């Protein structure tokens, strides 16, 4: 990830978010390329205190192989604006759910649903993690340059803010505002202070603790290749994304 406008690169110039620009890394825009608590027992006549739920924990898993480059046809799917659509994201650190903004970003949401239903995201990784800023995934090549082979454009309203839990699409700094392919990011900062140039997909509606755990995963800061310094040391795998519809 590079400068705030460059980081959010989805289809990195070629296809996939690519980091662009170069400022303070933490402010680089999201873009391509770039123990359980025990409970004391009481006398036999009383019930045991409930055990608090364990915090999310990342499992050590092998990194999936990059997927072959594919150029998918532009989606023609239209989502029903009277329905609610949720994306259940299953990761090696646990699940979280994204409430898709079907009314505010119908084309962006429809493209994401189209890809998710095809299994496009299954077996990919979060290739970029910047603590206190964003976590980014959705690249089938895991390079920060990959994408679906097409893009959609849906510029967000002026004044859009990228606050904690907002999910938006990455793009290169040379692409038009609201351009997106497949790469997306989840904001972990209270306010990422990014310009209103990134298409908004939705917001985390449950599982924020999982996002927070992913957001502090150790990265390979010692890597001589600066493009890989934001990659987790232990892969954070996106196992699947399942779409749920509700009236």
- Is 178 within the bounds of a domain? yes
- Which stretches of the chain drop beneath a pLDDT of 50? 1-26, 33-48, 50
pLDDT digits (tens, 9 = 90+) for 134-149: 999 999 999 999 999 9
What was the pLDDT predicted at 29?
72
Question: Residue 78, class by beta-carbon neighbours within 10 Å (0-12 exposed, 13-18 middle, 19+ buried)?
Answer: exposed
Q: Which domain holds residue 216?
A: 1-34+75-247
- Is 184 within the bounds of a domain? yes
Q: Which long-range contacts (CB under 8 A, 24 or more apart) does 244-247 make?
A: 244/85, 244/86, 244/87, 244/88, 245/80, 245/83, 245/84, 245/85, 246/83, 246/84, 246/85, 246/86, 247/82, 247/83, 247/84
Residue 22 maps to which CATH number? 2.40.100.10
pLDDT digits (tens, 9 = 90+) for 51-96: 556 788 999 999 999 999 989 999 999 999 999 999 999 999 999 9
What was the pLDDT predicted at 31?
64
What was the pLDDT predicted at 26?
47
- Is 42 within the bounds of a domain? no
Residue 172 and residue 33: Cα distance in Å, rounded? 9
- Is 62 within the bounds of a domain? no
What was the pLDDT predicted at 17?
40
Cα-flanking dihedrals φ and ψ of residue 116, to 5°? -60, -40
- Is 54 within the bounds of a domain? no
Domain count, the chain: 1
What was the pLDDT predicted at 51?
59
What was the pLDDT predicted at 44?
43
- Is 60 within the bounds of a domain? no
What was the pLDDT predicted at 227?
83
- Is 61 within the bounds of a domain? no
């Amino acid at each position: 990830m590079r400068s705030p406008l460059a980081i959010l690169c989805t289809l990195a110039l070629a296809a996939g978010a690519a980091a662009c620009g170069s400022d303070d890394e933490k402010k680089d825009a999201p873009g391509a390329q770039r123990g359980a608590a025990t409970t004391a027992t009481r006398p036999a006549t009383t019930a045991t205190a409930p055990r608090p739920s364990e915090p999310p924990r990342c499992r050590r898993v092998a990194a999936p192989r990059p997927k072959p480059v594919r150029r998918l046809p532009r989606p023609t799917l239209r989502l029903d604006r009277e329905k609610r659509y949720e994306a259940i994201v299953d990761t090696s650190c646990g699940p979280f759910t994204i409430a898709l903004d079907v009314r505010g970003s119908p084309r962006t949401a429809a493209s994401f649903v189209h890809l998710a239903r095809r299994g496009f995201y299954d077996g990919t990784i979060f290739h970029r993690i910047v603590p206190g800023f964003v976590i980014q995934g959705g690249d089938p090549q895991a390079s920060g340059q990959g994408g679906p082979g097409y893009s959609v454009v849906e510029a967000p309203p002026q004044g859009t803010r990228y606050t904690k839990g907002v999910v938006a699409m990455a793009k290169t700094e040379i692409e038009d505002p609201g351009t997106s392919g497949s790469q997306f990011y989840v904001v972990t900062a209270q306010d990422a202070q990014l310009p209103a140039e990134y298409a908004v997909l939705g917001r985390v509606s449950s599982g924020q603790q999982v996002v927070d755990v992913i957001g502090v995963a150790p990265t390979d800061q010692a890597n001589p290749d600066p493009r890989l310094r934001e990659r987790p040391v232990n892969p954070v795998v996106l196992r699947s994304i399942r779409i749920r519809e509700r009236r």
